[in-house]
């Protein structure tokens, strides 16, 4: 029997092939991902006061739900349209980048310091240190992050501090498990054994010999965790347990537009697109860093 082409199958294959080529190019050219990050997240976050065309907190009810400029009824005064109380979408997305970058930076630093320290202790000393720390990791992993966030939001109220605490408590376990594994592999290497024989103190061995050898792993994990943090912060804000209104958090903006998705799709679409581009770029950049910093993958 002759093969029969299904309607639309050729176009679907073409689209899939095109997407694969784009992803492959992004992996080969990490500067593309970095450019997207600079354009979507880092640049607007740093220079929000200068590049945002309007105040993200002030709206004009007479201009509510104005469509993007290229649609009928839109205006270039509000290039991405306005929300349900007339606030400029572009300005809120730009200021939302500052919130996302601040949450990601503070959470990753705090979680990374705690997790790396505990991972080094568990991996180097072993014994009851290892058992206690790993059981704490298991207990934390067994508690869903969203449930923990809702509990803290009920106790402390939705706030920037609540998001930092929840994300920090979520991240440290990943660092602890990964750094523990790396430390277990390194502690019996010749350079560590020679340091012990020469009389080096435990703190010197950990800080001068073990820590520098896991820095590459920490950098790669931190890069990949930026996307995780942004998704988690957006999810918490979407559920009302994260950044409280009227702050221009991306997740909160998506939640504001969920009831308007039919008539005013841009209210949710553009913050969601910012989340997508940022997370995808950070993941691609993290993959590239892993390939470059891991000696096992450098020549592959």
Residue with the two structure tokens 């109380």: 85
| Other CB atoms within 10 A of residue 93 CB | 22
Q: What is the pLDDT of residue 19?
A: 60
CB atoms within 10 A of CB 200: 15
Q: What is the pLDDT of residue 11?
A: 55
Tell me the CB-side half-sphere exposure of residue 225, using CA atoms within 13 A. Answer: 24
Answer whether 132's CB lies under 8 Å from 119's CB.
Answer: no
Q: What's the confidence (pLDDT) of residue 7? A: 47
In angstroms, how far apart are the furthest CA atoms of the chain? 79
Helices (H), the chain: 9-28, 30-37, 43-46, 48-51, 89-125, 127-141, 145-156, 160-186, 190-197, 202-204, 211-238, 250-256, 266-293, 295-298
Does residue 4 fall inside a structural domain?
no
Q: Would residue 16 count as lying in a domain?
A: no
CATH number at residue 174: 1.10.3720.10
Contacts of 142 (CB under 8 A, 6+ apart): none
**Preceding omega of 246 cis (within 30 degrees of 0):** yes
User: Which residue range(s) make up the domain with 145?
Assistant: 32-298
Q: Does residue 234 lie in a domain region?
A: yes
Residues contacting 229, CB < 8 A, separation 6+: 100, 103, 104, 107, 108, 167, 171
Burial class (CB within 10 angstroms; exposed 0-12, middle 13-18, buried 19+) of 3: exposed
Q: Is residue 205 part of a domain?
A: yes
Residue 215 lies in a domain: yes
One-letter-per-residue 3-state SS of 201-252: CHHHHHHHHHHHHHHHHHHHHHHHHHHHHHHHHHHHHHCCCCCCCCCCCHHH
Q: How many domains, in total, are found in the chain?
A: 1
26 inside domain: no
Neighbours of 106 (CB within 10 A): 16
* 24 CA to centre of own chain: 21
Query: pLDDT digit string (tens) for 103-136?
Result: 888 888 988 999 999 999 988 888 888 899 899 8
CA dist 121 and 98 (Å) reads 34
Residue 76, burial from CB neighbour count under 10 angstroms (0-12, 13-18, 19+): exposed
Question: Is residue 23, in this structure, part of any structural domain at all?
Answer: no
Q: Are 209 and 123 in contact (CB under 8 A)?
A: no
Measured CA to CA in angstroms, residue 296 lies from 76, 291, 293, 300 at distances of: 51, 8, 9, 8
Domain assignment present for 47:
yes
Residue pLDDT, tens place only, 178-189: 999 888 888 888
pLDDT tens, residue order, the chain (300 aa)? 444 444 445 555 565 566 666 556 555 655 665 666 666 667 777 888 888 888 888 888 888 888 898 888 888 888 988 988 889 999 999 898 888 888 888 888 988 999 999 999 988 888 888 899 899 888 888 888 778 777 877 787 778 888 888 888 888 888 999 999 888 888 888 888 888 888 878 888 888 888 888 888 888 888 888 888 888 888 888 887 788 888 888 888 888 888 888 888 889 899 988 888 888 877 777 777 777 766 555 555
Provide φ and ψ at 82, rounded to 5°: -130, 165
pTM of the complete model? 0.77
């Amino acid at each position: 029997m002759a093969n029969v082409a299904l309607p639309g199958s050729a176009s679907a294959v073409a689209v899939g092939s095109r997407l694969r080529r784009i992803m492959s190019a992004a992996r080969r050219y990490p500067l593309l991902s970095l450019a997207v990050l600079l354009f979507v997240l880092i640049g607007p976050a740093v220079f929000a006061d200068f590049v945002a065309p309007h105040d993200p907190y002030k709206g004009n009810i007479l201009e509510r739900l104005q469509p993007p400029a290229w649609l009928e009824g839109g205006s270039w005064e509000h290039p991405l349209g306005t929300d349900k109380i007339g606030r400029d979408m572009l300005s809120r997305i730009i200021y939302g980048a500052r919130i996302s970058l601040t949450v990601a930076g503070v959470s990753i630093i705090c979680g990374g310091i705690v997790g790396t320290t505990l991972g080094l202790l568990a991996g180097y000393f072993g014994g009851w240190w290892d058992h206690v720390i790993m059981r704490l990791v298991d207990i934390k992993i067994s508690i869903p992050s969203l449930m923990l966030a809702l509990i803290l939001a009920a106790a402390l109220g939705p706030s920037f501090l609540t998001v930092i605490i929840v994300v920090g408590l979520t991240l440290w376990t990943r660092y602890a498990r990964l750094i523990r594994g790396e430390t277990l592999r390194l502690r019996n290497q010749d350079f560590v054994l020679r340091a012990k024989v020469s009389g080096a103190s435990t703190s010197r061995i950990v800080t001068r010999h073990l820590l520098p050898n896991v820095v590459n792993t920490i950098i790669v994990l931190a890069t990949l965790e930026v996307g995780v943090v942004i998704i988690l912060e957006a999810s918490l804000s979407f559920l009302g347990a994260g950044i409280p209104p009227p702050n221009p958090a991306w997740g909160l903006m998506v939640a504001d537009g969920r009831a308007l998705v039919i008539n005013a799709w841009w209210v949710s679409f553009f913050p969601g697109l910012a989340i997508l581009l940022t997370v995808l770029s950070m993941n691609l950049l993290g993959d590239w860093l892993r390939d470059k910093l891991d000696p096992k993958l450098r020549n592959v």
